[in-house]
Amino acid sequence: MTVWVDLGMLRRLGHDDVTIQIVTSSAYGDHKTVQGLMALDFVKTFSSDKAEFHVNLVSSMIHEKRHFLDSLITNYGAFKFRTFAVYYANSNALLSDLKKSNLNLRIPFDAYSDRVKMLANNIDERSVPRSLSVLAKHFQERSYMLGLENQPLDFENLGSFNVGGDGQLEAIGMLCQLKYIFNAGELQPFGQLYGKHIINDERLLQKYFWWMPFFEKFTQKKMPKFMLSDTLFVAPKMQYLIPILYGALAIRVEEGNETNYGVRNPSFSAARLVAILEEFKNYKFHIADVAAIEIWQYVNSISSKIWGRSVIDEFIADHEKMKMIFKDVQHPCLDDYCALREKALYMLETNPAAIVDVELFESEMLPKIDPIIIFCDSNANQQINTEQASPIFEYKKPNEPEKSLLKRIVKKLTKKYTKNIHYVFASTVNEQIRRGFLQKAELFVDLNDNWKKLIAEVAPMAKLAFWGLKYPSPLLFELRKAELNFSYYSNYELDPNFSPQDHILSAKDLADLIVEAHLECNLCREQKPVDSLFIVSPLYLQIVWQQHFQKNIYENQDWGHNVVCNACRDRYQIF
Amino acid sequence: MVAFVLQGNENLIEEIVALQSNENVEFSEPTRTNAIGLSLDSPINPDQVKETILLVTAIFQSAKAVFELLKVIQEKQKSRTQQVLVKDPISGKTVIKIDKDTTDEQILSAIEK
């Protein structure tokens, strides 16, 4: 439901305010500003690398908006939403139970998901509230299902591909992005650049165009390919992709009894895809010459034949089931999600071409889609104009007078006055301005207090409860805030078996970021040359502090870079 | 009772769990530790397709049962390049990494600690 734009990452990659303006303008469809900025920037820098990056950035917004639509319509997308929704629905009961119990809560909740794990972690099963063990079991099962759905498959020496739900959503997102690049006026001059970028990047081909060899294998028919010469990149017609993948994403997950991973299993996107493609072996037309709407009708008939329900009927059946699940919960955000999904499904029923035909999607659907866009920055570099934007994640610490007279004098002499601390880690544009940009939007939720609470309070706790520090949040503060929220209800400890990934950035990255030659190591507090320091995530550093010093680093620590020197890295075994 | 967490790639852990619980060793349900399928990332700096890592907790009735299971894992590793990490469930510290070069002595020494 939300699109996160990591402005901190853009800055770390070395991009300036022009890039930030380009991405924020493209988020709200302000194409005129985007066009002007990109042209000006290209003339100024003559950098094709930068232009290529800007094309990627602007068109990524279309990619993400398509994800928003597919997450609403398809059963796989809704299944992912429901994975977290179970936490939203039960969070009040859970927190109330935690407050009453004397549990030393282990985060994530995995340790409570079965008897063996509880025994191994010295947890007395009788002391665990039922709300906690039920959620823990739910998370364990869902993560297993999502893992099975998205397990990489080795594909005949061509590499390892994700052909499951996520891989399929990514393929659709990229198709819409590519179409936009070649159709949109402001990006057309840079289209060839982007085409070459795709062809030359193995990771992009693997992640977004895996379906080309996959379709050939299972339909046993030649698929049209990209053409690239020195001067020209031509993308073939790929209008058949969305209808086929929609057929695959109509998984049946809430009805049980479909646990066998066979090629005709209706519970797995990859299995459905293989079964649908095999039916295309006997298709009498060349797939690239047929209109998307006709392919959509054919896929619906295949689905009816194999699984007894057309694709659209699978979507509706899943939605009806979801409404029943949410009916007793009475959570305003879940009600909003249901209403939005109903609207999107109605659009698919009444005008399917606008959704399954990539050409029509851009003109007919794109202006109607408006996810909540959150701009975040882990280093809290955001300058917020409160008339235009409102903070979603912020940290305020009041100005505390220095108690020691000596320190007060030193501060005065060195002019180091204590400032009010107010960090804004994430913000979103004000609702009034958002509506002004997107007057044609139909698929959106109002960012009211319920949604703000969900995004800033409840969802981070669900992410932490589910994955611990392994959750790949673009905003470290999001998980830290969840920790603080849990600490209000219970003592807690972070399960070290779920310690964060990618928590250390190299000395080279740091040297690229920092102008100064020396910085203070956050552990030994000595000034060290920048090229001997490493950036460590604040969350990871906190674990080290708790382990070695038995105290919480955040009492006196700001949210800038946390850097450690080589010597401390060895001493405290930060690897 | 002794408990360990075994961490390794999906196929390896599935094979270990398939050995099934008995009176000497009991396995938990496996957990996936990669945050797969939760959020969709952008085509800017896309992640590479990653292998799936599973964790499974095992409780043993005796040190002998631990040795026997770790020996089975060691045998399975002889034709492979990956490792299985054997970790303490509470501290998360790695007790031993088992790969094709791990010896019986190393296993015994890790269990004694």
Instruction: Tell me which residues of chain A, numbers 83 to 112, contact chain B at a CB-CB cutoff of 8 Å.
Output: 83, 110
Between residues A519 and B72, which one has the greater pLDDT?
A: B72
For chain A, the farthest-separated pair of C-alpha atoms sits apart, in whole angstroms, at 88
pLDDT tier for residue A399 given thresholds of 50, 70 and 90: low
- Interchain contact, B38 vs A470, CB within 8 Å: no
Q: Which residue has the tokens 């964060």?
A: A500
Q: Does A478 touch chain B (CB under 8 A)?
A: no
Between residues A259 and A193, which one has the greater pLDDT?
A: A193
Determine the average pLDDT of the residues in A458-473.
Answer: 87
Task: Give the CA-trace dihedral at A454, A147, A493, B112, to 10 degrees.
Answer: 180
CB pairs under 8 A between A and B: 132
Residue A406's pLDDT is: 61
A chain contacts of residue B31, beta-carbon cutoff 8 Å: 110, 113, 140, 143-144
- Interchain contact, B52 vs A151, CB within 8 Å: yes
Residue A557's pLDDT is: 40
ipTM: 0.90
pLDDT tier for residue A14 given thresholds of 50, 70 and 90: low
How high does pLDDT run on average in chain A? 81
| Candidate from B30, B48, B91 with C-beta closest to A203 | B48
| Candidate from A53, A64, A496 with C-beta closest to B42 | A64
Contacts of A290 (CB under 8 A, 6+ apart): A240
pLDDT digits (tens, 9 = 90+) for A316-350: 999 999 998 888 888 899 999 999 999 999 999 99
Q: Is the pLDDT of residue A306 over 70?
A: yes
Q: Which residue from B minimizes the CA distance to A149?
A: B37
Determine the average pLDDT of the residues in A89-110.
Answer: 93
pLDDT digits (tens, 9 = 90+) for A354-370: 999 999 998 899 889 98
- Interchain contact, B32 vs A119, CB within 8 Å: no
Contacts of A1 (CB under 8 A, 6+ apart): A68, A71, A81, A337, A371, A372, A445
Which of A37-41, A289-293, A556-560 shows the lowest mean pLDDT across its residues?
A556-560
Record the tokens describing residue A426, joined without a space: 């994430």
Q: Which residue has the tokens 């609470």?
A: A453
- Interchain contact, B5 vs A56, CB within 8 Å: no
DSSP annotation string for B69-83:
HHHHHHHHHTT-S--
d(CA A451, CA A271): 35
- Interchain contact, A60 vs B5, CB within 8 Å: no
Residue A191's pLDDT is: 75
Residue A245's pLDDT is: 97
Mean pLDDT: which of A37-51, A170-184, A235-249, A382-396 is highest?
A: A235-249
Residue A550's pLDDT is: 53
Contacts of A73 (CB under 8 A, 6+ apart): A246, A315, A341, A344, A345, A348, A355
d(CA A307, CA A212): 25
CB atoms within 10 A of CB A365: 22
- Interchain contact, A203 vs B5, CB within 8 Å: no
Q: Does A254 touch chain B (CB under 8 A)?
A: no
pLDDT digits (tens, 9 = 90+) for A427-463: 888 887 777 777 788 999 888 899 999 999 999 999 9
Annotate A303-315 with three-state secondary structure: HHHHHCCCHHHHH
A chain contacts of residue B10, beta-carbon cutoff 8 Å: 147, 151
Residue A502's pLDDT is: 44
A chain contacts of residue B1, beta-carbon cutoff 8 Å: 119
- Interchain contact, B44 vs A56, CB within 8 Å: yes
B chain contacts of residue A60, beta-carbon cutoff 8 Å: 42-44
Q: To the nearest whole angstrom, how far is the Cα of B43 from the nearest Cα of chain A?
A: 7
Percent of chain A whose predicted confidence (pLDDT) is above 70: 78
Determine the average pLDDT of the residues in A292-304.
Answer: 96
B chain contacts of residue A463, beta-carbon cutoff 8 Å: 38
A chain contacts of residue B69, beta-carbon cutoff 8 Å: none
Residue A257's pLDDT is: 46
d(CA A169, CA A71): 8
Q: To the nearest whole angstrom, how far is the Cα of B12 from the nearest Cα of chain A?
A: 14
Q: Is the pLDDT of residue B17 over 90?
A: no
A chain contacts of residue B53, beta-carbon cutoff 8 Å: none
Residue B39's pLDDT is: 65
pLDDT digits (tens, 9 = 90+) for A115-128: 999 999 999 999 99
* Mutate: best of B5, B42, B56, B69, partner A, most A CBs <10 A: B42
d(CA A168, CA A165): 5
- Interchain contact, B89 vs A121, CB within 8 Å: yes
Instruction: Tell me which residues of chain A, numbers 5 to 24, contact chain B at a CB-CB cutoff of 8 Å.
Output: 9
* Mutate: best of B21, B26, B29, partner A, most A CBs <10 A: B29
Buried b (16+ CB within 10 A) or exposed e, A181-198: bbebebbeebbbbbbbbb
C-alpha A30: how far from chain center: 23
Q: To the nearest whole angstrom, how far is the Cα of B81 from the nearest Cα of chain A?
A: 17
Mean pLDDT: which of A436-450, A492-506, A522-536 is highest?
A: A436-450
d(CA A264, CA A273): 9
- Interchain contact, B29 vs A140, CB within 8 Å: yes
pLDDT digits (tens, 9 = 90+) for A163-202: 899 999 999 999 998 888 887 666 666 777 777 777 777 7
From the list A138, A525, A456, the residue with the least C-alpha distance to A325 is A138
Residue A157's pLDDT is: 61
* Mutate: best of B57, B61, B87, partner A, most A CBs <10 A: B57
pLDDT tier for residue B32 given thresholds of 50, 70 and 90: confident
Q: Is the pLDDT of residue A501 over 80?
A: no
pLDDT digits (tens, 9 = 90+) for A55-70: 888 888 889 999 999 9
Q: Which residue from A minimizes the CA distance to B37?
A: A146
Q: Is the pLDDT of residue A472 over 80?
A: no
Residue A264's pLDDT is: 75
B chain contacts of residue A151, beta-carbon cutoff 8 Å: 10, 52
| Candidate from B35, B39, B59 with C-beta closest to A470 | B35
pLDDT tier for residue B35 given thresholds of 50, 70 and 90: low
* Mutate: best of A181, A497, A499, A575, partner B, most B CBs <10 A: A497
- Interchain contact, B40 vs A170, CB within 8 Å: yes
Phi, psi of A107 (to 5 degrees): -120, 130
- Interchain contact, B49 vs A160, CB within 8 Å: yes
DSSP annotation string for A59-78:
HHHHHHHHHHHHHHHSHHHH
Residue A407's pLDDT is: 60
Q: Does A504 touch chain B (CB under 8 A)?
A: no
Residue A286's pLDDT is: 86
d(CA A317, CA A325): 13
Residue B23's pLDDT is: 78
Mean pLDDT: which of A180-184, A219-223, A249-253 is highest?
A: A249-253
d(CA B49, CA A346): 35
Determine the average pLDDT of the residues in A200-213.
Answer: 82
Determine the average pLDDT of the residues in A255-270.
Answer: 71
C-alpha A517: how far from chain center: 35
d(CA A106, CA A112): 8
- Interchain contact, A120 vs B38, CB within 8 Å: no
Q: Which residue has the tokens 């890592």?
A: B53
pLDDT digits (tens, 9 = 90+) for B41-87: 666 655 555 567 888 999 998 888 888 888 888 888 877 777 888 99
Residue A420's pLDDT is: 56
- Do residues A368 and A32 lie in contact, with contact meaning Cβ atoms separated by under 8 Å? no
- Interchain contact, B44 vs A80, CB within 8 Å: no
